[in-house]
Structure 1
Amino acid sequence: MAYIDYYKILGVDKKATADQIKKAYRKLARKYHPDVNAGDKTAEKKFKEINEANEVLSHPANREKYDKHGEHWKHGEEYEKAQQQQRQYQQQQSGGGFGGYSEADFGEGGDFSDFFQSMFGGSGGGAGFGRSSGGSTSGKFKGQDVSAELTLHLRDAAKTHQQTFDINGKKVRITIPAGVADGQKIKLRGHGNPGHNGGPNGDLYITFNIAEDKHFKRNGDDLNVNVEIDLYTAILGGEVTVQTLEGSVNLKVKPETQNGTRVRLKGKGFPVYKKEGSFGDLFVTYVVKMPTNLNTKEKELFQQLKDLQNG
């Protein structure tokens, strides 16, 4: 596998902190996300590269292995063992013996060095590392876990839906329950990298990033929204239309409503995660909009109103 500089892909230094890596990933993911670059194959390829880099660098254990082993990071433990065995083999060769290992341990009729050639890029095709001198079979290795981030719009996170994305060239379809939170992480067992020597697959960890909405602000399971009302409605009372996640509702505005007045719409907020039928509340804050471009007559009427108040 050719070496890929994941730090360069994310545009960060090799000494970058986890927070710097996260910020760099989010910035690039938003820039190259398929939703904003529909049909752009170059952006799609870049988006996959960014996700792959983040899968490695955002996971401390994977990052440590990558920094240490480069392109061999996925098989770091096996790689180190193979290096050690190769050194032992070379030492024993120079000393005239195999030091406890026999040719049969590496496949009948095969070359003792085939294993090392296959691991380190040689042309040998040996059967692989079979048994030690003690006769025990080689261990099964669980595949590496994979970390990924998935960006959702707030309104998408408010409904249960399926989404398909690529992990290591494999399409994975998951059902996302309504109500997932920003930064929430879920685990999908067996959807990580393949195991070795018959070992189980690794797991897939998905962290959700919920993009900000231009209308609603989320606070847990509650939503907040600002609604403008004109001065006359604020003073005299009236009715205003308010948008919710499920549509619009009409609210009665009480006379003499002050700027910043907050009203609560029970059960009109965000769905509660994995609690079907449960919702937070929607809090509406009234923002009184002052009239502009008043003509002379209107200003006179406001002056009269002021005089009455002061009288």
Structure 2
Amino acid sequence: MDYKDYYKILGVDKNATTDQIKKAYRKLARQHHPDVNPNDPKAEQKFKEVNEANEVLSDEDKRRKYDQLGADYQRYQQGGGGRGQGGFDWSQYAGQGQGGFGGGGGDPFGGADFSDFFSSIFGGMGGGQRAGGQRPGAGQDYQAELELTLEDAYRGGPRTLTVNGKSLRINIKPGVEDGQTIRLRDQGGPGRNGGPAGSLYITLRLQPDARYTRTGNDLTMDVPVSIYKAVLGGEQVVDTLSGPVKIKIKPDTANGTRLRLRGKGFPRYQHPDQVGDLYLRLNLTLPQHLTDQEKELFQQLAALRPE
């Protein structure tokens, strides 16, 4: 029987703290969860291994016995033994966990399917009992998405969404980004045997806005300007997310000229007093459906400025 390196499976050091183990487990469990990777046997197998590793390393007694086994197995290998060879005496560890360990407590994502290695050492305690019942376990984490307009993300405010039939009212802070995830503690599945409820992870999806292009906290907007105003200069009102603003167009303004409006961009997330800029890209528009008199005037202008 092969030895399983649970520390390597979770990607943590052998001196890792309980919090470090829990953090590594939750990250890997979400990454390889069957709901996230449907019909992927490799992800399913990895999910089972991560659950098993957490079941051992998150339990003080299991971890201590596992560490002792690991030390003995390492000495065996250094003495010339090989992985999977029959020279190592597994019997001195087999069944040590029977009747002594509760299972499933570290699996907030549901289910436990342990290997022969685990069952041999800990007695297959996926559903075992300890005095007083099963060990408390955290509830399942839930995933949800919430669509927002650009103005919703700019202004923030309360929003309501329904998850698993439960209506939740949350407050969106100004400046959120597309793909940003918000965690709501204790809004996931109920805990087992008095354990804490899981968390709800809400991924924010910002709908495209035809008016603006967002780059970080800066916005860019195309502004149509008549050729007359571009030549002679003038004033024009543009709509920004914070309200209408009057801008000045200088005479002889070229097509594609960019103007910068400071503080008219997007607020920085969790720092609403820090706001990006709005860049206006002036696009000159040509008059359409000219009258005969207008065409004559353009001809006169062209004659005055020959190429």
Query: Which TM bucket (shorter chain)?
Result: 0.5 to 0.7
Q: Is the 8 A contact 2:175 2:272 kept in 1?
A: no
Q: Which residue of 2 aligns with 1:7?
A: none
Secondary structure in 1 aligned to 2:299? Answer: helix
Say whether residues 1:201 and 2:173 are aligned partners.
no
Say whether residues 1:225 and 2:197 are aligned partners.
no
Aligned mates of 1:192, 1:66 — CA distance in 2: 21
Q: How many residue pairs were aligned?
A: 207
Which stretch of structure 1 is more off in the superposition, 168-177 or 228-237? Answer: 168-177
Aligned mates of 1:184, 1:101 — CA distance in 2: 45
CA pair 172-300 structure 1, distance change in 2 beyond 3 A: same
Q: Is the 8 A contact 2:213 2:219 kept in 1?
A: yes
**Which residue of 247, 257, 264 corresponds with 1:261?**
257
Aligned mates of 1:184, 1:131 — CA distance in 2: 41
TM-score (norm: length of structure 2): 0.59
Structure 1 residue runs of 5 or longer lacking an equivalent are: 1-57, 82-99, 103-128
**Which residue of 155, 164, 173 corresponds with 1:177?**
173
Aligned 1:239-258 pairs, distance under 5 A: 239-258=235-254
Aligned 1:289-308 pairs, distance under 5 A: 289-308=285-304
Kindly provide the CA deviation profile for residues 178-197 of structure 1, in whole angstroms up to 9, marking residues without a partner as x. Answer: 01000111211211111111
Q: Which residue of 2 aligns with 1:211?
A: 207
For 1:197, the aligned partner's letter is N
CA pair 176-62 structure 1, distance change in 2 beyond 3 A: farther
Say whether residues 1:140 and 2:136 are aligned partners.
yes
CA drift at 1:229: 1.1
CA drift at 1:137: 4.6
CA pair 179-299 structure 1, distance change in 2 beyond 3 A: same
Q: Which residue of 1 aligns with 2:154?
A: 158
Secondary structure in 1 aligned to 2:267? Answer: coil
Q: Is the 8 A contact 1:223 1:282 kept in 2?
A: yes
Q: Which residue of 1 aligns with 2:35?
A: 63
Q: Is the 8 A contact 1:267 1:282 kept in 2?
A: yes
For 1:143, the aligned partner's letter is G
CA drift at 1:60: 3.8
Q: Is the 8 A contact 1:268 1:279 kept in 2?
A: yes
Aligned mates of 1:200, 1:65 — CA distance in 2: 26
Q: Which residue of 1 aligns with 2:129?
A: 131
TM-score (norm: length of structure 1): 0.58
Aligned mates of 1:249, 1:222 — CA distance in 2: 17
CA drift at 1:64: 6.5
- Provide runs of 4+ in structure 1 moved above 6 Å: none
Kindly provide the CA deviation profile for residues 114-149 of structure 1, in whole angstroms up to 9, marking residues without a partner as x. Answer: xxxxxxxxxxxxxxx6735xx585222111111111
User: Percent identity among equivalent residues?
Assistant: 44
For 2:289, the aligned partner's letter is N
Aligned mates of 1:266, 1:302 — CA distance in 2: 38
Aligned mates of 1:65, 1:296 — CA distance in 2: 67
Secondary structure in 1 aligned to 2:175? Answer: coil
Q: Is the 8 A contact 1:59 1:147 kept in 2?
A: no
Kindly provide the CA deviation profile for residues 144-196 of structure 1, in whole angstroms up to 9, marking residues without a partner as x. Answer: 11111110011111113111222222222211100100011121121111111
Structure 2 residue runs of 5 or longer lacking an equivalent are: 1-29, 42-46, 56-96, 100-126
For 1:238, the aligned partner's letter is G
Aligned mates of 1:101, 1:301 — CA distance in 2: 99
For 1:229, the aligned partner's letter is V
Kindly provide the CA deviation profile for residues 10-29 of structure 1, in whole angstroms up to 9, marking residues without a partner as x. Answer: xxxxxxxxxxxxxxxxxxxx
CA drift at 1:307: 2.1
